Amino acid sequence: MKQGLLIVVSGPAGSGKGTTLKHIFASPKHGKKYTFSVSATTRAPRPGEVDGVNYHFLSREEFEARIARGDLLEYTEYCGNYYGTLKKETEAVLERGQNLVLEVEVEGAMNVKRVYPEAVTIMLLPPSFAVQEARLRGRGTETEEKIQARLARTREELTQLEGYDYVVYNRDGKIGAVAEDIYAIVRAEALRVLRNKDAAAHYFAE
Ligand code: 5GP
């Protein structure tokens, strides 16, 4: 069976990563081809977030024990909390031929790319920094201090944009278009010769 794609999606706060991924997983046509890698984090759950679905919510002690045990493919500290990808969320899924989606920040994305050079990295962006700021204030779930921290982090993260394979823009009210861009990327990536090394052998075998 063909291996699934490892798709790494990053995007600053307010880029609509969560909404976009929800849209893809709910798609009757595409949803079943994708599995979400549930990360571990030490941050507190936001209203509506479910342990084991959105994240594995761990204490700092538990997280550090997992690091010590070598359970993490990558991890980082972001705005005062640990976030990391559990190895057990990745390997088996790809072998089943499923596309695995990791939603991680820039440092994590670059670390994944080092371990899996064939991973496809996508940066999701709001149309502009001004729109991002307006979205964060509109969300109303975070303090001004946290909003400022996330905006400052965005400036830093975008210096790494060149390390990504694709940039996709999330314009207001256009989630369907964002999902279509991602399907197009996945479709093209699956056709790359580097993922079809046995194409000639198959061609002559029939
Ligand atoms: P949030 O607190 O908004 O859910 O996530 C904060 C940031 O952490 C986001 O940029 C998100 O992509 C990133 N993140 C979530 N899970 C992981 C992970 O497993 N590893 C890394 N490196 N970053 C993650």
> Residue 45: pLDDT band by 50, 70, 90 thresholds?
very high
Q: Compute, in angstroms, the gap from residue 52 CA to the centroid of ligand 1.
A: 15
The pLDDT, as a whole number, for residue 1 is 66
Which helix (H) or strand (E) segment holds residue 166: the answer is: strand 166-169
Amino acid at residue number 52: G
Tell the residue nearest (CA) to atom 18 of ligand 1. 84
Q: Compute, in angstroms, the gap from residue 15 CA to the centroid of ligand 1.
A: 13
Q: Is the CB of 87 under 6 A from ligand 1?
A: no
Angle at 166 between CA 188 and CA 20, to 5 degrees: 90
Residues of the chain with pLDDT > 70, as a percent, come to 100
Q: Is the CB of 84 under 6 A from ligand 1?
A: yes
Q: Is 16 left (phi over 0), alpha (psi -120 to 50) or beta?
A: left
How do beta strands 120-125 and 6-10 pair? parallel
* Residue 81: φ, ψ to 5°: -130, 155
Mean pLDDT of 178-203: 95
pTM, entire model: 0.93
Residues of the chain with pLDDT > 90, as a percent, come to 83
Distance of CA 85 to the CA centre of its chain: 10
Q: Which residue has the tokens 């394979």?
A: 165
Residue of 8, 10, 105 best suited for mutating to test ligand 1, as the one with most atoms within 8 Å of CB: 105
Closest-lying ligand 1 atom to the alpha carbon of residue 85: 19
Which helix (H) or strand (E) segment holds residue 98: the answer is: none
The pLDDT, as a whole number, for residue 112 is 96
> Residue 97: pLDDT band by 50, 70, 90 thresholds?
confident
